[in-house]
């Protein structure tokens, strides 16, 4: 059988990860930069799929309770 060559995936260095995860100064950043930082941290901390996070709506977020409800998931189990 033909065996496909394995490709080595590039990973971020520690310095790059630190820069990506550093909380931006809310007074000096744009809305889009802050939004992106929130999404990246949410994905990393919750382990959610990108499609699941994209489907989250305002009604799915309970800020008082600190809970996010998943209404749309890949396996339809929330």
Average pLDDT of the chain is 88
Could you give the dihedral angle defined by the CA atoms of residues 21, 7, 52 and 72, in that order, rounded to the nearest 10 degrees?
-170
- Residue 60 reports pLDDT greater than 90: yes
Query: What's residue 4's pLDDT?
Result: 82
Query: What's residue 7's pLDDT?
Result: 87
* pLDDT tens per residue across span 4-27: 888 888 999 999 989 888 999 999
> Which residues, at least 6 apart from 75, have a Cβ–Cβ distance to it below 8 Å?
none
What distance in Å separates the CA atoms of residue 48 and residue 39, rounded to the nearest whole number?
Answer: 10
> Which residues, at least 6 apart from 40, have a Cβ–Cβ distance to it below 8 Å?
20, 21
pTM, 2 dp: 0.65
């Amino acid at each position: 059988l033909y065996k496909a060559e394995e490709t080595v995936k590039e990973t971020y260095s520690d310095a790059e990860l630190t820069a990506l995860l550093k909380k931006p100064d809310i007074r000096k950043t744009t809305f889009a930069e802050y939004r992106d930082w929130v999404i990246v941290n949410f994905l990393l901390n919750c382990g959610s799929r990108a499609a699941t996070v994209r489907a989250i709506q305002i009604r799915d977020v309970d800020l008082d309770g600190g809970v996010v409800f998943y209404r749309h998931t890949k396996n339809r189990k929330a």
